Amino acid sequence: MDVRTQNARWLDLAADLVTLPSATMPHDRLLTELSATFESLASWHFQDVDGSFRFDLSHPVLGLAGADLDAWSRANRSTHPLLFWFQATLDPRPMTIERVPRRLVPAGGFALVRELCSPYGLERQLSIPYEIGPSGSRAFVLAQSGEDYSADDVRLARLIQPLIALISRQTTILARVHTDHDPVGLTGRERAVLQLLSEGLTAQGIAHALVISPRTVHTHLAHVYAKLGVSDRLRAVALADEHGLVNRSTGAGAEARPNQVVYDAPIDRGSRGWSLAVSEGRSQTNRELGSRGSWCSTSLRHACAA
């Protein structure tokens, strides 16, 4: 696998997706792209503390459908090695089953994965969580048979993860704006910044919410001010409210979600792992985007202006 080439392709994909003012996480598009990138089955997992979950596949698996899929997923989640890895280490970086130490997993955990997944050629798995917290989690999981995922596969997954988290953050924020009306032509990223600005967040707070740098936030604000024809945040928010571009009824506290994006983990005994994820995710993104003239392409420069 050419990690550099695939990472550049994902940077361009992220550029396209954050440019769109969409309030819906593009699960289907991401499943298709992940499946093509890793030449594997890709699935999207949603699990909440109340026991509710969802399990979507990039393409059908022969013999795995309907009630069988539901029962298979419930049984597999109860002792899944990757779930125990994330719970024990609080390290949200992408991980494969075969790399999980046996001592962390209850007896029979690995055997159950083989029993349930091997008949379908899905026993080797690579998880890319993008939200994880006390109330549940959301992750994309890749699966194949034969050899475990390579070091390059894991490295690429760790480069892709912050891009998925970035897209998730933006769609979550845009979902708070209950209209598609936009008379000034703001990009999705600009609308997200404007919404957070209307909620009273500072540039630093907006940067944290969107997993970008404060400098990038100021660049977006300059573009927003120019499109609105204003020169300060107060006038920008007032005009945006007048045109229905923001939801002023949403307070700054609305940023919190039942499931926190991986970069928002609380500081505790496992904070070293979480901090590493922040450092690696942001530094690779900023480094790659900077070296390619702000996110690798013209479209991404307009989208992110890093």
Side-by-side strand order, sheet with 53-57 = 53-57, 41-48, 136-144, 124-133, 95-96
Residue showing tokens 């890093």: 306
Could you tell me the domains of the chain? Answer: 3-164 (3.30.450.80), 173-304 (1.10.10.10)
| Separation of alpha carbons 126 and 21, rounded Å | 30
Instruction: Indicate whether 120 pLDDT > 50.
Output: yes
Instruction: Indicate whether 286 pLDDT > 50.
Output: no
| Separation of alpha carbons 19 and 185, rounded Å | 11
Q: Which of 57, 258, 49 is nearest to 141 (CA)?
A: 57
Which pTM was predicted? 0.74
Phi, psi of 95 (to 5 degrees): -145, 150
Reported as a single tens digit per residue, the pLDDT across 14-66 is: 999 988 888 889 999 999 999 999 999 999 988 777 767 777 888 888 877 65
